[in-house]
Chain A
């Protein structure tokens, strides 16, 4: 008797398990690096998505930012990995080249519709006429300044031109009589955001296009102005001593600690900076070369891509999930909860948002932002940092250094495009 009831219970349990698995017959994996507000929001969004789409389950996996490439590469090598991967747009070409990604399915994401709905910057993930990923949110740069420091020097307005910025930075800088830097007028750096500032903002405003239109040729040294502006920009640190490279991310820490009066930072810095109630700060649009001159900004984004793991039903489920997390509704929640700017044209043009004292300068910056078409962001970044280090630490001549840098960057680009063909 006992035995029989046990068998019955087991059978019932098995039926239940089978029923449960057949109901949730498609499970897709979504991977992103760990950033608390993003992780929490995605968890909530997944619940909502699953309720709207019975039969699809989304498994959310996170890992530390620093180990992004190791985690993903190791999983791929082991034949596993995500169906939908949240990836920095500048790393996407490397993953694409190796055949790890697939283009977004046309029936869910027609190219014209994407280009109508999203801001133009998103085209940085358009390769071979196809879109390979889509973002929920985008970021741009702006000038953060310490209002108290400005008041000390009697400055009431943020700088409008780079000349003004340097002049103000010189006045804001504080050193001991032995020359130790107590306060940087401008948190100068190359490893933070300022290598983008040089490439996409300063060069462009000085009339030098950093890349050819087809993204195949590096043109960072096309014209004497390029050498001029590289010299001048490195001189901010070297000659005028308004700030020093401190290491990645430390420019922001210095600003928060009141040890730097101005920094150029991305909208992703707002959260960390605003968490310090004692810091009296404000944001302004990036300066220009001359009043009325060309405006330029650097835009970037993390985008959701579909990997080769997603086939058949999984691909459909992945496409649906991607549609959901890039929808205008989610973008609106994303701005509130994570503080990242919407990638949708309509939302970005929202006048209320453009007038916001904190988000406004970033949103206005989006209009003229360029997202560099990287072929390998990490390698290109290392090359630029190395070139600037040569100028700063070894007194290398600017002309030769920039020419060599362009040559090296071109090599990386050639290798990439050759491997695609």
Chain B
């Protein structure tokens, strides 16, 4: 019965030919790869991309979260957004966080990584010490810093007073509040960068350093001619990641400003916090989505520029 009128051998060959026409071995592998990737891809499509795209839709509608109606209003939310003083303030603050935070974290992170790279004893201990803040909850860290910054009873102000200085109203003064929060963000995130830089440093082959030594290069030359260029991929990664992170700063400000409002007098409010307040305090999902779209565009543009500017091929 099996094989019907064709001899079994021929049938197998036909089948193989047919299959061969449809899919090459490579294509088959790809199909399998996509089959395995389907679940995470579906996850991303529905949990990540769909809501993100939906935000574009919402940004063109007037939608109070409590109301069932979502009438289309065109670009009204964007017009309102640009007339909102707090939005501009939040945007300015966000750029301050980013423009100060990214280089500061980069320099400190690279500096500590270079020093740690030379440490030969107790290496795991040091690495763990620097990494611990990063794995500690932002909220917990924010509140501890908030207590340290307290006037009259906070440890920092006590220390200042013991040394004979005046108190500083770290978080209560609109001139110092943003920098006080920024310091905490830098401290909190620097451990992650140290680990990345250490990995990057380890990737640089020793032979370049040996060659430089033989040629009589001093340590400055070694750093600027070898270490820094060869660390470039790591630096690009770190700069892009931390720029995005600073542009999206939220939890720290939320937890360190009074009632999470980004005060005093909006001196610390970030764009994301303003989006959050607009969405969940004012229930204005339309305008909140418009701001989200705007922030998305900013992050996109900045990231693309960074990739173009900072990515250079280094060959030796």
Contacts of A389 in B (CB 8 A): 263-265
- Tell me if A129 counts as interface (CB < 8 A to partner B): no
Question: In the bound complex, do residue B152 and residue A73 qualify as a contact, i.e. CB atoms below 8 Å apart?
Answer: no
Question: In the bound complex, do residue A379 and residue B282 qualify as a contact, i.e. CB atoms below 8 Å apart?
Answer: yes
- Tell me if B161 counts as interface (CB < 8 A to partner A): yes
CB distance from B164 to the nearest CB of A (A): 8
Distance, CA A379 to CA B167, complexed state (A):
32
Question: In the bound complex, do residue B167 and residue A180 qualify as a contact, i.e. CB atoms below 8 Å apart?
Answer: yes
- Tell me if B200 counts as interface (CB < 8 A to partner A): no
Distance, CA A152 to CA B314, complexed state (A):
76
The one of A98, A244, A378, A393 that contacts B264, using a Cβ cutoff of 8 Å: A393
* A183: nearest chain-B partner, CB-CB: B152
* A79: nearest chain-B partner, CB-CB: B68
Q: State which of B11-19, B39-47, B59-67, B225-233 sits at the interface with chain A.
A: B59-67
Instruction: Annotate A159-200 by CB proximity to B: 1 below 8 A, 0 otherwise.
Output: 000000000000000001011111000000001000000000
* A376: nearest chain-B partner, CB-CB: B282
CB distance from B139 to the nearest CB of A (A): 12
A94 with B265: in contact, given A248-B258, A393-B172 (CB under 8 Å)? no
* B169: nearest chain-A partner, CB-CB: A393
- Tell me if A1 counts as interface (CB < 8 A to partner B): no
Distance, CA A309 to CA B174, complexed state (A):
45
Contacts of A34 in B (CB 8 A): none
Interface centre among B66, B67, B173, B266 (most CB of A within 10 A): B66
- Tell me if A367 counts as interface (CB < 8 A to partner B): no
Contacts of A382 in B (CB 8 A): 261
Question: In the bound complex, do residue A94 and residue B259 qualify as a contact, i.e. CB atoms below 8 Å apart?
Answer: no
Contacts of B67 in A (CB 8 A): 98-100
Question: In the bound complex, do residue A95 and residue B66 qualify as a contact, i.e. CB atoms below 8 Å apart?
Answer: yes
- Tell me if A64 counts as interface (CB < 8 A to partner B): no
The one of B153, B167, B265, B281 that contacts A393, using a Cβ cutoff of 8 Å: B265
Question: In the bound complex, do residue A73 and residue B66 qualify as a contact, i.e. CB atoms below 8 Å apart?
Answer: yes
Question: In the bound complex, do residue A76 and residue B265 qualify as a contact, i.e. CB atoms below 8 Å apart?
Answer: no
- Tell me if A40 counts as interface (CB < 8 A to partner B): no
Distance, CA A244 to CA B265, complexed state (A):
16
- Tell me if A247 counts as interface (CB < 8 A to partner B): yes
Q: Is chain B's binding surface mostly helix, strand, loop or mixed?
A: loop
Contacts of B65 in A (CB 8 A): 73-74, 76-77
B153-181 contacts to A (CB < 8 Å)? 153, 157-158, 161, 167, 172-174
- Tell me if B283 counts as interface (CB < 8 A to partner A): yes
CB distance from B228 to the nearest CB of A (A): 43
CB distance from B309 to the nearest CB of A (A): 39
Distance, CA A393 to CA B173, complexed state (A):
7
CB distance from B174 to the nearest CB of A (A): 6
Question: In the bound complex, do residue A73 and residue B282 qualify as a contact, i.e. CB atoms below 8 Å apart?
Answer: no
Distance, CA A247 to CA B283, complexed state (A):
24
- Tell me if B23 counts as interface (CB < 8 A to partner A): no
Interface centre among A70, A100, A178, A244 (most CB of B within 10 A): A178
Distance, CA A389 to CA B259, complexed state (A):
14
* B285: nearest chain-A partner, CB-CB: A77
Contacts of B259 in A (CB 8 A): 191, 247-248
Q: Is chain A's binding surface mostly helix, strand, loop or mixed?
A: helix
Distance, CA A334 to CA B151, complexed state (A):
39
- Tell me if A403 counts as interface (CB < 8 A to partner B): no
- Tell me if A390 counts as interface (CB < 8 A to partner B): yes
A73 with B283: in contact, given A179-B167, A247-B258 (CB under 8 Å)? yes
Contacts of A98 in B (CB 8 A): 64, 66-67, 283
- Tell me if B280 counts as interface (CB < 8 A to partner A): yes
Distance, CA A359 to CA B228, complexed state (A):
71
- Tell me if A29 counts as interface (CB < 8 A to partner B): no
Question: In the bound complex, do residue A181 and residue B152 qualify as a contact, i.e. CB atoms below 8 Å apart?
Answer: yes
Question: In the bound complex, do residue B174 and residue A394 qualify as a contact, i.e. CB atoms below 8 Å apart?
Answer: yes
* A259: nearest chain-B partner, CB-CB: B153
A386 with B152: in contact, given A94-B66, A180-B167 (CB under 8 Å)? no
- Tell me if A323 counts as interface (CB < 8 A to partner B): no
Question: In the bound complex, do residue B157 and residue A70 qualify as a contact, i.e. CB atoms below 8 Å apart?
Answer: no
CB distance from B5 to the nearest CB of A (A): 47
Question: In the bound complex, do residue B283 and residue A394 qualify as a contact, i.e. CB atoms below 8 Å apart?
Answer: no
Distance, CA A386 to CA B261, complexed state (A):
11
B259-273 contacts to A (CB < 8 Å)? 259, 261, 263-266
CB distance from A132 to the nearest CB of B (A): 14
* A248: nearest chain-B partner, CB-CB: B259
Question: In the bound complex, do residue A378 and residue B281 qualify as a contact, i.e. CB atoms below 8 Å apart?
Answer: yes
A73 with B174: in contact, given A181-B152, A182-B152, A244-B151 (CB under 8 Å)? no
- Tell me if A62 counts as interface (CB < 8 A to partner B): no
A178 with B66: in contact, given A73-B280, A390-B265, A394-B265 (CB under 8 Å)? no
* A100: nearest chain-B partner, CB-CB: B66
Contacts of B172 in A (CB 8 A): 245, 393
Q: Taking beta carbons and an 8 Å cutoff, which residues of A are in contact with B? A: 69-70, 72-74, 76-77, 94-95, 98-100, 176, 178-182, 191, 244-245, 247-248, 378-379, 382, 385-386, 389-390, 393-394
A sample of 10 more A-B contacts (CB under 8 A), given A69-B283, A70-B280, is: A69-B280, A73-B66, A77-B65, A77-B66, A98-B66, A99-B68, A176-B161, A179-B167, A182-B152, A389-B264
Show 23 A/B contacts (Cβ-Cβ < 8 Å), sorted by A.
A69-B281, A69-B283, A73-B65, A73-B66, A73-B283, A77-B66, A98-B64, A98-B66, A98-B283, A99-B67, A178-B161, A179-B167, A180-B157, A180-B161, A181-B152, A191-B258, A248-B258, A379-B282, A385-B263, A386-B266, A393-B264, A393-B265, A394-B174
